[in-house]
Structure 1
Amino acid sequence: MKYVILVSHGKFAEGLANALSMLVGKREDIIAVGLEDGKSVDEFTELFTKTVDKITTDDEVVLLGDLIGGSPLTNAINVLNGKGVKMIIIGGMNLPVALTSVMMKDTFALEDLAQQVLQEAHGALREFKIEAADDDDDI
């Protein structure tokens, strides 16, 4: 199975997983773990390890983190590497990145998926401008 795993500081990963479930339904292939305020990195790593216990070397992972170099992403990488899991890693996750990962993960080979996700995410990030209404409008 291909999993999308979300890791973050605080409850961001869980909130993002909740938003995803509103769009794609509740799914077993989406996992979210956050480093909660007041918890140690060791506690996060222990929780993450238990949460991904079912993932084996036969599985593939799209690992999304809030910050490249942050403790949640770094420790998640270490745990999954220790299990010998094949994965791609993307930092700076947001809803378009997560949604694209979920929707495209079974369409593309893992090696090609990162480029597709980053391409879609780049297109989704843009400034929204509100046009000034003309004085003649009856609105």
Structure 2
Amino acid sequence: MRYVVMVSHGQFANGLKDALMMLAGQREDVIASGLENGKSADEFAQDFEKTIDFIKQDDEIILLGDLIGGSPLTTAMNVIHEKNMDEHCIIIGGMNLPLALTTVLMKDTLDKETFLQQVLHEGQTALKEFKIENDEDDDI
């Protein structure tokens, strides 16, 4: 099985998972874990290890983290490496809802390279400035 595992500072990953369940339906293959305020990276590592304990050695993990180089992502990567599961792992930092939704919906339908291109494209193109135009001048 291919799992989407999201890690973040605070409750971001859990909130993102909640939003994903609204859009993609309830899924057993989406997991979220957050580094709670006041907890150490070592405590997060223990919690994260318990969270992914059921994932088998031959399963695949798509690891999404909120910040590249942040404690949740680097700690999760270390735990996955210690469990010798990194051979079957895709890691993406800088997650957002469009990237996560595309990951969940496309993870089982595309080869690895096409999958990576598609989800990264979705995550990047979702970022745009939104301007509200003032129509007052038209009313004069």
CA distance in 2, matches of 1:130, 1:45: 44
Matched residue type, 1:8: S
The runs of 5 or more residues in structure 1 that have no matched partner are none
Residue 15 (structure 1) aligns with: 15
Q: Does 1:98 align with 2:82?
A: no
* Kept after mapping to 2: 8 A contact 1:56/1:83: no
Q: Does 1:119 align with 2:106?
A: no
Residue 109 (structure 2) aligns with: 107
Shift of 1:116: 1.3
CA distance in 2, matches of 1:62, 1:55: 12
CA distance in 2, matches of 1:40, 1:123: 34
* Kept after mapping to 1: 8 A contact 2:95/2:123: no
Which SS does the other structure have where 1:90 is aligned?
strand
Number of residues paired by the alignment? 138
Matched residue type, 1:124: A
Residue 81 (structure 1) aligns with: 81
CA distance in 2, matches of 1:79, 1:113: 24
CA distance in 2, matches of 1:31, 1:111: 23
CA distance in 1, matches of 2:52, 2:126: 30
Which SS does the other structure have where 2:119 is aligned?
helix
* Kept after mapping to 2: 8 A contact 1:5/1:32: yes
Q: 1:121 to 1:79 in 2, by over 3 A?
A: same
CA distance in 2, matches of 1:36, 1:12: 10
Matched residue type, 1:27: R
Shift of 1:71: 0.8
Matched residue type, 1:77: M
1:79-110: CA deviation from partner (whole Å, max 9, x where unpaired): 11222321111111111111111011011123
Matched residue type, 2:99: V
Which SS does the other structure have where 2:6 is aligned?
strand
